[in-house]
Chain A
Amino acid sequence: MAVTTRPTSRRRLVKRPGRLIAEIVTVVIAAMVAFPIYWMVLSAFKPAGEIQSSSPKPWTLAPSFDSFQRVLTVSGFGGFFLNSVIVAVAVVALSLLMSFLAAVALTRFNFRGRTVLLVMLLVAQMVPIEALTIPLFFLMRSVGDVAPAFGLNELGSLVLVHLAFSLPFAIWMLRGFVAAVPVELEEAAKLDGASRLRFTWQILFPLVAPGLVAISVLAFIHAWNDFLFAKTFIISKTENQTLPQAILVFFKPEDTDWGAVMASSTLMTIPVLVFFILVQRRLVSGMAGAVKG
């Protein structure tokens, strides 16, 4: 309901010259924050001699696509990109579904052990994931014996693992949004004859959409940037490697190809940015719901 109110009277609260200074400061800070990204993209376009020169310039007069070419022609690059997309999309879709259901149960339903579960979810986020790689390796190997698509060397194993690591935080965040929807709404729907199931999917789900968007962004980043589990699980089937693993190829011991490293990093960052831009408006309004939690 009244999750956000955009006050029109706000403008009257702020004095004009103060606002101009604030705006200038904002733009300067935005430029400073964006500068490393600009540098990354710039280095991707610089010709080889300019990248590691003793007088680096924040511009280049001879932009070249060489680095991008080297990256894109890495054998199987397109495949790795696709693998990353598949894993990320699967993780986002499934985590939305599962965390929504769990959040509804943990917020709206009354049952013993609710607090314990919530605390366990918080504690689960504290374990350093690097420590869990060996147990998970053996677990996925056993899973692979039962369900080959989810075993080692398969993308399914990555989806499962990233789901498991995104869910605790997702559930925690979504709780706040679900809690913000007034109980009266559910009561009213029940009086109108709607079953709980109908209420949950047709009314509650759209209402927490901003929260779902926030979670999908975080899950996407987590799955997209993962390097640790991809390199632990995908061993002999190189066609199932994901993007970060492909970038590793450019870190050669004798002669790291910095242009290619920057180009591939740029290529990795773009989809996330695109995703962000598409959802940023709902993201911000979505975060407001977390206040209620």
Chain B
Amino acid sequence: MSTQQLLPPAVAAPPAKPLRRRRRDGRAAVLYLAPAAILLAALLAYPIYQLVLISFFDYGQPQAAGTAPLVFIGFENYAQLLENATFWTVLAKTVGFAGACVIGSLFVGTSLAILATRVRSLPRMLLFLAALGAWATPAMAGSYVWLFLFDTDFGLVNEILVGIGFDGMAHHSWTYGTFSAFGLVAAEVIWCSFPFVMVTMYAGIQAIDTEVLEAASLDGASWFLIAKSVILPMLRPLLMIATIQSIIWDFKVFTQIYVMTNGGGVAGRNLVLNVYAYQQAFAGSEYGLGAAIGVVMSLLLLSITGLYVRSQRRSDAWL
């Protein structure tokens, strides 16, 4: 209720003098938007346009260096990509993997946020510090550390497991089985992405009007019920933003998979789209094909996000 109150005034323009306000706004808007707009047009819009263009050409290192002519091949790069059965397998795995990471980070982040509201400041501070540490660790460093910990022969995890009695776990390879490898990487990705969700959700919970929570508690609801029926629904707009960001990031994961599965796993069974693009295109300087994969990935993300937003668009106007 308190969150909704602030929205209508901010979003709807007061109707006092519509025509004059719009004209005035237009000029000021241009001025305020100019720096960002110019930069983004030059450094984002133009390269994206180039990307789409490249995807219609046979464009490799010789073409880029200017020693071979450009050949327009229309949709051939796309055809080559979509006809390849491996692409569809990798796509399915990427959707599954990203889905697991998104659900995992949202679940862990939100639960820990709710947990953090129930404790005093010292434990909460420790949790936040640890989370911020996970967030701050560079992707490559985090991947190598996790790989170390789960190493077949030198890993601490295997040693501990053997120590507490699971002798069969000696020299167990966590990165060999397809699901096991994906699971390990997903754990690492969730480890470094949940802090963003946790901090966002925690702040959102802090902003909820306490009267509502008090009323619910006085009515005798357990805090689990409060969490489920009061807190979570009020956090929906925030959850949606966090989900969209997580979908975008986790769909594009590269470093963790590349490092932890040694370039895509045994016989490429742990490939995700971004690593597949690197292996099939960029590593061999096939920029045209790589551009096509990039365009396809963006369109896929757009559709997935669009579907998600459409499904959530029940109450709050979030634009």
Interface residues of A (CB under 8 A from B): 2-7, 9-10, 13-14, 18-19, 22-23, 25-27, 29-31, 33-34, 36-37, 39-40, 43, 52-56, 58, 97-99, 101-102, 104-107, 109-112, 115, 117-118, 121-128, 130-132, 134-136, 138-139, 160-161, 163-165, 167-169, 171-172, 179-184, 196, 221, 225, 227, 244, 247, 258, 261-262, 265, 268-269, 272-273, 276-277, 280, 283-293
Contact = CB atoms under 8 A, between A and B. Distances in A.
Interface of B: 2-3, 6-7, 9-11, 13-14, 21-22, 25-26, 28-29, 32-33, 35-37, 39-40, 42-48, 50-51, 54, 64, 112, 115-120, 123-124, 126-142, 144-146, 148-149, 153-156, 159, 191, 199-200, 202-204, 206-207, 209-210, 213-214, 217, 223, 235, 237-238, 241, 244-245, 248, 252, 254, 274, 277-278, 282, 287, 290-291, 293-295, 297-298, 301-302, 305, 318-319
Contact of A293 (B142, B237, B252): B237
Contacts, number: 310
Contact of A97 (B35, B48, B156): B35
Contacts of B191: 33, 36
A291 B51 contact: no
A98 B144 CA distance: 36
A284 B138 contact: no
Given A7-B210, A128-B252, A132-B294, A269 B51 contact: no
A134 B64 contact: yes
B199 A130 contact: no
12 contacts: A2-B2, A30-B130, A33-B130, A40-B145, A52-B154, A132-B47, A135-B46, A138-B50, A163-B39, A181-B10, A227-B140, A292-B7
Contacts of A138: 50, 64
Contacts of A2: 2
B interface secondary structure, majority? helix
A131 B202 contact: no
Contacts of A261: 141, 144
Given A14-B223, A293-B237, 14 more contacts: A5-B209, A18-B118, A102-B32, A106-B33, A112-B26, A118-B319, A168-B44, A183-B14, A244-B138, A258-B148, A261-B141, A269-B133, A291-B203, A291-B238
A135 B54 contact: yes
Contacts of A4: 203, 206-207
B213 to A, nearest CB: 7
Nearest to A271: B136
